[in-house]
Chains A and B, each alone.
Chain A
Amino acid sequence: MPDTGETTTVRWADPLEAIERCYDLGWTDGLPVAPPTQQRVAQFLACAGREASEEVGQLPERRRRVTAGKVAANAVMAGCLPEHFPVVLAAAEAMLDPVFNLVGPSSSLGGAAILVIVNGPVVQQLNINCRANLFGPGNRANATIGRAVRLILMNACAAIPGLFDRSVIGHPGKYSYCIAEAETETHWTPLHVDRGFAPGQSAVTVFAAEGPRQVRATGHPEAILYSIADVASSLGTSMSTSGSVGDSAAGLRQGQIVVTIAGNSGLWRDWSKDDVRRYLHQRIRRSVADLKTARVLPGPVAAGDNERYVSLVPQPEDILLVFAGGEEANMSSVIPSWGPKVGSTAVTKEVRLP
């Protein structure tokens, strides 16, 4: 047996008892897990060509060092298949990148989940769902890869509810939150290519995210985008509040945003992703009058405040646009970031196969 890291020996007579032992050990997210047996963990490590002791990243604020063996054990527990493990590893590597600043979204009262967006050939190879029921249940790869990320957060990064995880309400994406882009069904540039990777590479993007807000609009690209911009401009998202702004000139938590657009690529034939981002960036904003009324900005509403606007997203590139969802164009989604861009920024890492 190759080295798999620190082990615990337990006894059980039947599968139900095995599941209960994992509850007793405090290793679950509340749902039953697959016991991380040494054989299964070794199989995962072999599939990715990694050693158990190999460091994936660190969380210095909690004095934690996360190894490939720990990531594998959590992926096993989540119900992943060995071939899903390289995707989970890339997600773990991305969220432990200092740019992502995991300590923020994994502890904050904002209650973020880590949204995982998969791109590249691995989407089809592993049958990761990018179409109907995008955020919904029923597909093993999405369900287990997303769940593995949560188990890694809880077990290997100490983001335990009530301890370091201080979410006020959190959201259901904290159980599992993994999607892919339907990049073979659109003329749009895939997200990972926008972010500097080659189309033939597979990559995982992680994003500290609020829950998805469904946007129902149809018929014409502009009607859909106008509605998306309206939803993204609402008061009460992280982006339209002002706590923990630091030294931002805008006085708001301007942040990145994920937008998913479903349907048929044909509807968008006259639009590039850049066109969509520019259109949205100009319209994702709120009047100074509204922001003052909601006490986001200080002071009484003054003459002209109804005509003065503050942008909620810093740059058009901060709109992460993903073509995904069912074949009907009726439903898009808006996913605001957990915090200001200075607090956490999306990170993309390549899925490395041996």
Chain B
Amino acid sequence: MPEQPKEYVLVNPTTQAEAANFNGAPRLLTLAGARIGLIDDSKRNADVLLQEVAEVLRTRYEIGEVRWHRKPSASRPADPEAMKELSEKCDAIVVAVGD
């Protein structure tokens, strides 16, 4: 005769992403005159791609000042100091992953 199933309590070995609530920056109504930050992940050609993006934004949308931040390694998170400065001095930021 087959055994009857019994209940077992297992500890869940997995985790879930725990994201704190945050308020996104208000969407820009226009790019004209906007201060744009560019984060280069330092992979090959990320700089080439971002320079082109900046050029397109300048000629088509007449953006304002551009700030550049280059990470020391693509694998490392961006420097919190640099992120803070960019968030204070830019209206929008573009991140590029080269390769």
Contacts and interface: CB of A to CB of B under 8 A. Distances in A.
Contacts of B72: 246-247, 342
B76 A343 contact: yes
Given A74-B13, A158-B15, A10 B2 contact: no
Contact of A73 (B11, B18, B43, B44): B11
A11 B5 contact: yes
Given A27-B14, A243-B44, A9 B19 contact: no
A202 interface: no
Interface string B2-29: 1111111111111101110000000000
Interface in A17-73: 17-18, 21-22, 25-27, 35-38, 41, 52, 60-66, 69-70, 72-73
A155 B11 contact: no
Interface string A74-98: 1011000000000000000000000
Given A64-B18, A74-B13, A244 B8 contact: no
Q: How large is the interface on B (under 10, 10 to 19, 20 to 34, 35 or more residues)?
A: 20 to 34
A6 B18 CA distance: 15
A35 B8 CA distance: 9
A101 B73 CA distance: 11
A339 interface: yes
Nearest to A156: B15
B52 interface: no
Nearest to A157: B15
Contacts of B18: 63-65
A21 to B, nearest CB: 8
A10 B10 contact: yes
A7 B71 CA distance: 41
Contacts of B70: 247
A302 interface: no
A250 to B, nearest CB: 14
B15 A70 contact: yes
Contacts of B6: 11-13
Contacts of A69: 11
B99 interface: yes
A125 interface: no
B77 A38 contact: no
Nearest to B70: A247
A334 B96 CA distance: 35
Contacts of B99: 243-244
A156 B74 CA distance: 23
Interface of A: 4-14, 17-18, 21-22, 25-27, 35-38, 41, 52, 60-66, 69-70, 72-74, 76-77, 101, 103-104, 108, 151, 155-158, 242-247, 339-340, 342-344
Interface of B: 2-15, 17-19, 42-44, 70-77, 99
22 contacts: A4-B11, A5-B11, A7-B9, A8-B12, A9-B10, A10-B8, A27-B14, A35-B10, A38-B11, A60-B77, A62-B17, A63-B18, A63-B19, A64-B15, A64-B17, A76-B11, A103-B75, A103-B77, A104-B73, A158-B17, A246-B72, A343-B76
Given A11-B8, A70-B14, 19 more contacts: A4-B11, A7-B9, A9-B7, A13-B3, A13-B5, A17-B5, A22-B10, A35-B8, A36-B11, A38-B9, A63-B19, A73-B11, A104-B75, A108-B75, A242-B44, A246-B42, A246-B72, A246-B74, A342-B72
Q: Which 5 A-B residue pairs are closest in the complex by CB-CB distance?
A: A104-B75, A73-B13, A63-B17, A343-B75, A11-B5
